């Protein structure tokens, strides 16, 4: 059996506008990003820790037609691994 012979999972997100099922992005509003750095001997910096806090709305958007898919954001969040 080849990978293409397997049935498609029933929980895949598909854009109802254009049918895209593999290219999405998030837009977060009012975000505070705090990054802690250490300075190296040569004067360059290396990030040690990142901390983000989203205070505003988070939108899920189709990466092909830019349709607002925010109604599916909860499902999207549950499927992040």
> Does residue 5 surpass a pLDDT of 60?
yes
C-alpha span between 68 and 54 (Å, rounded): 19
- The model's pTM: 0.69
Range of the domain at 31: 3-78
Q: What's the domain count of the chain?
A: 1
> Does residue 1 surpass a pLDDT of 60?
no
Q: CA-CA distances (angstroms) from residue 22 to 15, 25, 55, 68, 76?
A: 9, 10, 27, 15, 12
Confidence of residue 79 (pLDDT cuts 50, 70, 90): confident
State pLDDT tens for residues 35-60.
999 999 999 999 999 999 999 999 99
| Predicted local confidence at residue 47, as pLDDT | 94
């Amino acid at each position: 059996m080849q990978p293409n012979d397997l049935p498609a999972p029933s929980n895949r997100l598909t854009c109802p506008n254009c049918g895209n099922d593999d290219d999405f992005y998030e837009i977060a509003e009012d975000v505070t990003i705090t990054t802690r750095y250490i300075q190296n001997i040569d004067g360059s910096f290396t990030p040690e820790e990142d901390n983000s806090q989203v205070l505003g709305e988070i939108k899920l958007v189709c990466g092909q037609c830019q349709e607002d898919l925010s109604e599916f954001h909860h499902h999207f969040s549950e499927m992040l691994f």
